[in-house]
Amino acid sequence: MKKKWLAAALAGILLAAAVLSGCASTEKAKRLRFGVAGEGGIYREFGERFAALENETDNGQVELKATAGSAANLRLLTGEYLQLAIAQGDLAQDAYDQTGIFADEEETRGFGAVAALYTEACQIVVRADADIQSVEDLQGKTVSIGAEESGSEQNALQILAAYGLNDKLVDTVNLNYEDAAAQLKAGKVDAIFITAGAPSPVLTELAGECGIRLLNVDGAAAQRLTSAYSAYSAVTLPAGTYPGQDTDVQTVGVKAVLLASDELPAKQVQKLTELLFSSREGMEEQLGIPLDAEQDAVEGVGIPFHAGAAAYYKAAGITVDQTAGN
């Protein structure tokens, strides 16, 4: 009798533990902190629209978190505060490989790619009435290179270096996109670097207020960049991308990549990936930029994919490298 009682008690304890574990797992699956960036950028706009779609499903409730951008998102994702994030592909690769600004950090993994979302163009902008026609003309000028430790900052410094310019030849300042646009309009800075999907809402508004000119990143400098850094590719901004832009602009760009924590269940990330592509055309119309289709979304990423995303691509006949996942 005593043995039967003990067996029954043990069974009850195990059942309760299983229920509690299931509840905890469900709760973990339901809460999704999504790191985007501040107001005025495509990260934020994409995050708002994708969160609205996801929050209509039973696959998890998304809570947007405004951050300083790519580097912050990667650190918060690695630290398990965020479950989803957007980051530039070049910085995601640096974080995964512990290079660049992440070289001295103890742990920079624990995440995988979901998809490349779109190409972010490195856009160098001056006022239309400025006597600045090329990147070389930035010598001796005051230039905003983006927020500190942002993807824009890294791209700006690499582009300036490709033209033989350093911080002794250019007075660089760290400003977010909205502040940079305001200071360019006011004449307090001579040029601004913005790495973003084009057209960027901030630059479209600025073009309507004071007129802008975009500088080319081309020729030998562009070749040096694409040779030295695998994340860069050549980008053309067609005439008319911004008000008053009469000619095509040549530059370089990197991919904006949607990332997921390895702590997220594979099934949940697979459903997120499916939602992303089933909603792609509608989001393109809302954002005003082209989003990558499945085949293009696995190119230029530079890091392994989350197991859930890999499962989605496998079903679509696309093979990718994957992280651990669960």
Q: What is the pLDDT of residues 246-291, one digit of tens each?
A: 999 999 999 999 999 999 999 999 999 999 999 999 999 999 899 9
Q: Quote the percentage of the chain above a pLDDT of 70.
A: 89
pLDDT digits (tens, 9 = 90+) for 52-68: 999 999 999 999 999 88
- Cα–Cα distance, 305 to 214 (Å, whole number): 35
Residue at 281 is within a domain: yes
Residue at 3 is within a domain: no
User: Do residues 199 and 284 both lie within one domain?
Assistant: no
Residue at 97 is within a domain: yes
Calculate mean pLDDT across residues 211-224: 97
Which residues does 189 contact at the CB level (< 8 Å), separation at least 6? Answer: 142, 143, 144, 173, 175, 180, 183
pLDDT score for 108: 65
| CATH code, 237 | 3.40.190.10
User: Do residues 231 and 274 both lie within one domain?
Assistant: no
The pTM for the full model equals: 0.85
pLDDT score for 129: 97
- Cα–Cα distance, 277 to 270 (Å, whole number): 11
pLDDT score for 137: 98
Last residue in a domain, options 210, 226, 254: 254
Last residue in a domain, options 254, 285, 305: 254
**C-alpha separations of 39 from 1, 42, 112 in Å:** 68, 9, 26
**What is the total count of domains within the chain?**
2
User: Do residues 140 and 198 both lie within one domain?
Assistant: yes
User: Do residues 141 and 244 both lie within one domain?
Assistant: yes
Calculate mean pLDDT across residues 147-159: 92
Residue at 55 is within a domain: yes
pLDDT digits (tens, 9 = 90+) for 25-53: 444 447 899 999 877 678 999 999 999 99
Report helix, strand or coil for 74.
Answer: helix
What is the domain range of residue 203?
A: 120-254
User: Do residues 96 and 73 both lie within one domain?
Assistant: yes
Q: Given a cut of 70, is residue 13 above it in pLDDT?
A: no
User: Do residues 246 and 268 both lie within one domain?
Assistant: no
Q: Given a cut of 90, is residue 193 above it in pLDDT?
A: yes
pLDDT digits (tens, 9 = 90+) for 94-123: 999 999 889 988 776 899 999 999 999 999
pLDDT score for 8: 47
Kind plus residue range of the DSSP H or E element containing 185: helix 177-185
Q: Given a cut of 70, is residue 6 above it in pLDDT?
A: no
pLDDT score for 325: 56
Mean pLDDT over the full length of the chain: 90
